């Protein structure tokens, strides 16, 4: 049987050796993260289940094979955590961009309605109605 302590040791070794991951993520995982315990518990359960199946067949899984499996799953775990963080960050940026676009459209519509708001009001932009009435006054003077 494989112990959780051994799996945790292999997990920490895989985190330390992974040079592709963000250094902040590596430090966070080495200090401890709430998801680590569940991840190690699932790996422990699955590796022991695979080991039991192989023992019934009269075969044994080499320790190096199990360590390589833990290393590979650790890399996947780190990649998934990095992707989740990027998604949260990008979602905030996209939300901000959408809100900015909606504000711009609202300001354009207010200019067209004759009541400029925001930067258009500050810049002194006049609406189409005022432009049209000024042109008509020039073309058709009412003397």
Domain boundaries, the chain: 4-86
- Residue 128 confidence (pLDDT): 62
Region of 118 please: left (phi>0), alpha (psi -120 to 50) or beta.
Answer: left
- From CA 52, how far away is CA 44, in angstroms rounded? 12
Q: Please state whether the predicted TM-score (pTM) of the whole model is above 0.85.
A: no
**Residue 12: closest CA among 41, 36, 34, 43:** 36
Q: Which two tokens stand for residue 79?
A: 């990649």
Query: Do the Cβ atoms of 108 and 94 come closer than 8 Å?
Result: no
Q: Which residues of the chain have pLDDT under 70?
A: 118-132, 135, 143
């Amino acid at each position: 049987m494989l112990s959780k302590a051994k799996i945790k040791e292999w997990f920490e070794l895989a985190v330390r050796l992974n040079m592709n991951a963000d250094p902040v993520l590596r430090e966070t995982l080495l200090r401890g993260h709430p998801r680590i315990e569940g991840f190690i518990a699932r790996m422990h359960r699955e590796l022991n289940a695979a080991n039991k199946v192989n023992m019934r067949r009269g075969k044994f899984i080499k320790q190096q094979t199990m360590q390589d499996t833990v290393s590979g799953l650790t890399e996947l775990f780190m990649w998934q955590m990095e992707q989740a963080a990027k998604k949260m960050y990008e979602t905030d940026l996209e939300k901000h961009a959408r809100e900015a676009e909606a504000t711009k459209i609202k300001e354009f519509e207010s200019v067209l309605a004759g009541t400029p708001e925001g930067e258009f009001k500050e810049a002194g932009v006049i609406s189409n109605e005022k432009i049209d009435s000024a042109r008509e006054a020039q073309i058709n003077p009412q003397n």
